[in-house]
Structure 1
Amino acid sequence: MTKRIEKTKIMHRVVEHGGVLYFGGLVADDMTLGMGDQTRQICAKLDKLLAAAGSDKTKLLTAQIYVTDMGGKNDMNTAWLEWLDDAHLPSRATIGVASLGSPETLIEVVVTAST
């Protein structure tokens, strides 16, 4: 059975199938913030969505992180590691991109987790 959580105009934020949670890309709400603080906002959103799906950050399997400026990667890593316990780090790729839709959007995060 497939379960869908938090519908937006173009997608569901989370789709669960077979005990796996597939997340759509998440961006920060406050685009005036720098890379680290945008990352913190995204992590807070992930906490809420994971809880809504009956999971938590210890069950993250993989993450794809898209950033528009690799120069901000250290700030992103700092925020990421503040959020995650090092015993439960998912596999991860950080990908540099030219744009995420608006110049103020510095980071977009896509994760997969188990229930």
Structure 2
Amino acid sequence: MTHIQRHHTNARLSKIVRHGGLIYLCGQTAKGSPVATGEIGAQTAEVLSRVEALLAEVGSDRTRLLAVTIYLGDMADFGGMNDVWEAWLAEKQAEAPARTTVEAALATEGLRIEMTVVAAEA
């Protein structure tokens, strides 16, 4: 049986879980002021940066993304989020993941976006 590895674990969650050649990231959001109250482009860029950093920590990267679920506090932010997302993937479109975007009530006031990620190990 494949060993499960958990990273940055606390009583509530693990930020990274590795199992069976897959990497699962917990929901990533923009954090701290003023970004957490900033516009969707800034929050999206911060979330993508955090995703990249966590993947790099376990030896993977955005070309290994399999599935991403994006939660928006307001679907009116869909276009602004997509502008940043598409620029982030511009050179790697051949590796674009399966993606779902939904509107959801987010946990903290001011947050406009959260992403969960599944990626393959490198």
For 1:13-52, what aligned pairs fall within 5 Å after superposition?
13-29=15-31, 30-52=35-57
Give unpaired runs (5+ residues) of structure 1: none
Deviations 1:29-70 (A, max 9, x none): 221211111010000001110001110000000010000111
SS in 1 for 2:50: helix
CA RMSD across the alignment: 1.1
Residues of 1 paired with 2:48 and 2:29: CA distance?
10
Identity of matched residues, %: 34
SS in 1 for 2:36: coil
For 1:1-115, what aligned pairs fall within 5 Å after superposition?
1-29=3-31, 30-84=35-89, 85-97=92-104, 99-115=105-121
Give the letter aligned to residue 95 of structure 1: V
TM value normalised by structure 2: 0.89
Residues of 1 paired with 2:69 and 2:83: CA distance?
16
SS in 2 for 1:78: helix
Aligned residues: 114
Aligned pair in 2 of structure 1 residues 9, 80: CA closer, same or farther (>3 Å)? farther
SS in 1 for 2:80: helix
Give the letter aligned to residue 103 of structure 2: G
Larger radius of gyration: 2
Give unpaired runs (5+ residues) of structure 2: none
Q: Which runs of 4+ in 1 moved over 4 A?
A: none
